[in-house]
Amino acid sequence: VEEVPFTTPLAIPPLAPSRVEPDGTRVFELTAQEGSMPFVDGAETRTWGFNGDYLGPTLRAERGERVAVEVTNELGEATSVHWHGMHLPPEMDGGPHQMVEPGETWRPTWEIDQPAATLWYHPHPHGETERHVYQGLAGLFLLDDPEAAPDLPSQYGVDDIPVIVQDKQFDDAGQLTLEENQSEPGVLGQTVMVNGTVGPFLGVSTERVRLRLLNGSTARTYSFGFDDGRRFQLVGTDGGLLPAPHETTDVRLSPGERAEIVVAVTPGEQVTLRSSEPDLGRVASSAAFGGEDTFDVLELRADTMLAPSPPVPDVLADVPRIKESEAGVTRDFTLAVRQINGRSMDPERIDEVVHEGQTEIWEVRSIDSLPHNFHIHDVQFQVLDIGGEPPPPELMGWKDTVYLEPQRDYRLIMRFEDFTDADSPYMFHCHLLRHEDEGLMGQFVVVGEGE
Ligand code: C2O
């Protein structure tokens, strides 16, 4: 990874405007379009974005609200938009069965009924997800719950900052490429950007700042911390806040995972968010997968006068543990190369039939020497145990994506509720996007009790 000086103010994705229809539905508009960005000196890099040149606005809605998103496709090819981490009906999920053709508008609508969280959205076309996300189609979807809102920094763009981290590879003409110097799981880029900004710094005006970290890369796993090793509070993971803050020095995020952290700064100081050699577990060649890479990501520059911030509360959220005894079904998933349980993704095949109202344990294991993770649509799950051991504190909250250290059993527990449709599947897959595109994915449907 190239070290670049931190000379550009961090771009903050704008909050998406919305209108409220007479029946109370909050409506957002997203248009997928072509654009260009001055990522590298002397070149205009062709990009894609939603409502702009690169990435998309931050959508934000409250628990209990009905939302609709009008997704218009102004690209020259079909795409889709998936609401990663969202509990919603399968026809609204935006997977490969909900493609939006060029010139068309798709309008999914659903009611938000899940905890406050940092979710995100991105395309999910069959076999093309890596390319579409890599060109720039992604954004955050923040959920709020006014009835369960601990006192955390929450002024968007001031002390509550989106941090979408991506690594990119450019060809000689300064264009994004997925072809050069690729490692097996996909591109490990030499240029790291945050919210589309290369070499970003962030002016901090408050004693504490909350960073909503999203690994929006296609293949790279990060281990985020600070250059001086300072401790910070991990307050949230994929699907919501943790029961209590976890004080730590680093947090590992594989593609698709999120973490919310709160870090304290002192007046006038500079401190840098850094990614240090992520522990990938027993993969064949950790170095080839970025496991030996350390690089700086974002410089925080504290003002000489800082506005006070409340201390991080000791209790953040009620996250009742789902009990193993509640589970009526256990399923096994073994990941190897480009297959789950020996099969590659077939959009015409339903791999698992789940009954609504059931609690299930999904026992997931990678027997590969490559890095993989595991993402499940529709639900937020809890990690029951890993290799028979209780999960570490950072895996005690709601998750929708989990890194799989090879040769270890991850038992995930989840409840399938509310939405049934025997004809409309949800996906589960490795979120290393090339693996996903090349078949490391399956489909499940949720059906009613008697079906
Ligand atoms: Cu973020 Cu099926 O994906």
Q: What is the pLDDT of residue 373?
A: 98
pLDDT per residue as tens digits for the range 247-291: 999 999 999 999 999 999 999 999 999 999 999 999 988 998 999
Ligand 1 atom with the smallest distance to the CA of 256 is 1
Closest protein CA for atom 3 of ligand 1: 84
432 CA to centre of ligand 1 in angstroms:
10
- Sorting pLDDT into bands at 50, 70 and 90, what band is 180? low
84 CA to centre of ligand 1 in angstroms:
5
Structure tokens given for 280: 């990938």
pLDDT per residue as tens digits for the range 251-260: 999 999 999 9
The response to whether residue 198 sits with its C-beta less than 6 Å from ligand 1 reads no
Beta pairing partners, 273: 226, 298
Query: Using CA atoms, how far apart are residues 451 and 449, in angstroms rounded to an integer?
Result: 6
* Strand-strand pairing, 66-73 and 26-37: parallel
Ligand 1 atom with the smallest distance to the CA of 85 is 1
- Sorting pLDDT into bands at 50, 70 and 90, what band is 179? confident
Ligand 1 atom with the smallest distance to the CA of 428 is 2
Q: What is the pLDDT of residue 337?
A: 85
Q: What is the pLDDT of residue 46?
A: 98
- Sorting pLDDT into bands at 50, 70 and 90, what band is 296? very high
Ligand 1 atom with the smallest distance to the CA of 429 is 2
- Average pLDDT over the chain reads 97
- Sorting pLDDT into bands at 50, 70 and 90, what band is 182? low
How much is the average pLDDT of 317-328?
A: 97
Task: Provide, rounded to the nearest whole percent, the portion of the chain with pLDDT above 70.
Answer: 99
Q: What is the pLDDT of residue 323?
A: 97
Closest protein CA for atom 1 of ligand 1: 84
pLDDT per residue as tens digits for the range 24-57: 999 999 999 999 999 998 899 999 999 999 999 9
Structure tokens given for 16: 């998406």
Identity of residue 288? A
How much is the average pLDDT of 440-451?
A: 93
The response to whether residue 429 sits with its C-beta less than 6 Å from ligand 1 reads yes
Please determine, for residue 23, whether its predicted confidence score (pLDDT) is greater than 90.
Answer: yes
Beta pairing partners, 237: 240, 259
378 CA to centre of ligand 1 in angstroms:
10
Q: What is the pLDDT of residue 42?
A: 85
pTM equals: 0.98
Ligand 1 atom with the smallest distance to the CA of 436 is 2
The response to whether residue 280 sits with its C-beta less than 6 Å from ligand 1 reads no
How much is the average pLDDT of 221-241?
A: 98
Task: Provide, rounded to the nearest whole percent, the portion of the chain with pLDDT above 90.
Answer: 95
How many H helices and E strands in the chain? Answer: 2, 33
How much is the average pLDDT of 375-383?
A: 98
Identity of residue 21? E
pLDDT per residue as tens digits for the range 147-171: 999 999 999 999 999 999 999 999 9
419 CA to centre of ligand 1 in angstroms:
18
- Sorting pLDDT into bands at 50, 70 and 90, what band is 451? confident
- What was the ipTM of the complex prediction? 0.99
Cβ–Cβ under 8 Å, residues 137 and 79: yes
The response to whether residue 132 sits with its C-beta less than 6 Å from ligand 1 reads no
By 3-state DSSP, what share of the chain in percent is helix, strand and coil, each rounded to 5?
Answer: 5, 45, 50
146 CA to centre of ligand 1 in angstroms:
27
82 CA to centre of ligand 1 in angstroms:
7
375 CA to centre of ligand 1 in angstroms:
7
Identity of residue 131? R
376 CA to centre of ligand 1 in angstroms:
8
Q: Residue with structure tokens 């270890």? A: 408
